[in-house]
Amino acid sequence: MINYYLYRDGQNHGPYSADQMKQLVTSGQVAQSELICPEGSSDWVPASTLLVASSLNSRTVAPASVSRSAGSRDFSVTEEQVSAAHQKLKTPMIGILISVAVPFLLWAAKSDASRGVRISGRHRGLKSLMQTIVKENPQALPIGIAIGVIGVVVCAVWFARSRKVARDLKAEFNRQQIR
């Protein structure tokens, strides 16, 4: 049985079973325009797609393209949902920055340690920590680079998916404004 997460007030709630979620939507406790996501997926769709999917005797959420082609236009996207989707883009971007910064910090610490540079300045604690890591583990730099590359790739995929959701919501919001 598939579980669903509900996006409300800038936070994810759940998981809820498919039956629970259907009941919440049909009773009006969850608006058809609110976004839900099947557990294990990254595709957020309006809750109305759950009703469309159940009316088609399906046990999964129909993708947004299927629900639209089936004539389901009874959901609306709010400006707050579009804004929240764009806010979610910040987290993977920060992950990319950290993934790039850590190998550079390790490299700088290794370089400073090998040249005997005295630790000074505002970030003495961080510099000292990095030099200790590099001195005690000579493999820290190659491992840091590998982890940094993996982090960049993972965060880039995460960013691309989040960006697609944000763009789709914005496009739907703009279509609704035209009507």
Query: Which pLDDT score, from 0 to 100, does residue 54 have?
Result: 54
**Spatial separation of the C-alpha atoms in residues 36 and 40, rounded to whole Å:** 12
Q: Which residue stretches of 7-78 are H helix?
A: 18-27, 48-55, 64-69
Query: Which pLDDT score, from 0 to 100, does residue 52 have?
Result: 59
Query: Which pLDDT score, from 0 to 100, does residue 58 have?
Result: 39
* Average of per-residue pLDDT across 103-132: 84
Residue with the larger pLDDT of the pair 56 and 113: 113
Phi/psi region, residue 31 (left: phi>0; alpha: psi -120 to 50; beta: rest), is: beta
Inter-residue contact 68 to 86 (CB < 8 Å):
no
Domain end call among 18, 45, 75:
75
* Average of per-residue pLDDT across 105-111: 86
Q: Is the pLDDT of residue 135 over 60?
A: yes
Q: Is the pLDDT of residue 20 over 80?
A: yes
Judgement on whether residues 52 and 16 belong to the same structural domain of the protein: yes
Q: Is the pLDDT of residue 75 over 70?
A: no
Q: Output the CA torsion 167→42→50→70 (10° steps).
A: 50
**Spatial separation of the C-alpha atoms in residues 41 and 111, rounded to whole Å:** 43
Judgement on whether residues 58 and 130 belong to the same structural domain of the protein: no
CATH number at residue 62: 3.30.1490.40
Judgement on whether residues 174 and 93 belong to the same structural domain of the protein: yes
pTM (two decimals):
0.52
Residue with the larger pLDDT of the pair 64 and 40: 40
Judgement on whether residues 98 and 164 belong to the same structural domain of the protein: yes
**Spatial separation of the C-alpha atoms in residues 119 and 131, rounded to whole Å:** 9
Q: Is the pLDDT of residue 127 over 70?
A: yes
Query: Which pLDDT score, from 0 to 100, does residue 64 have?
Result: 42
Query: Which pLDDT score, from 0 to 100, does residue 123 have?
Result: 79
Judgement on whether residues 9 and 55 belong to the same structural domain of the protein: yes
In a domain, 53, yes or no: yes
Q: Which residue segment(s) compose the domain that 50 sits in?
A: 3-75
In a domain, 80, yes or no: no
Judgement on whether residues 166 and 96 belong to the same structural domain of the protein: yes
Domain count, the chain: 2
Domain end call among 21, 42, 75:
75
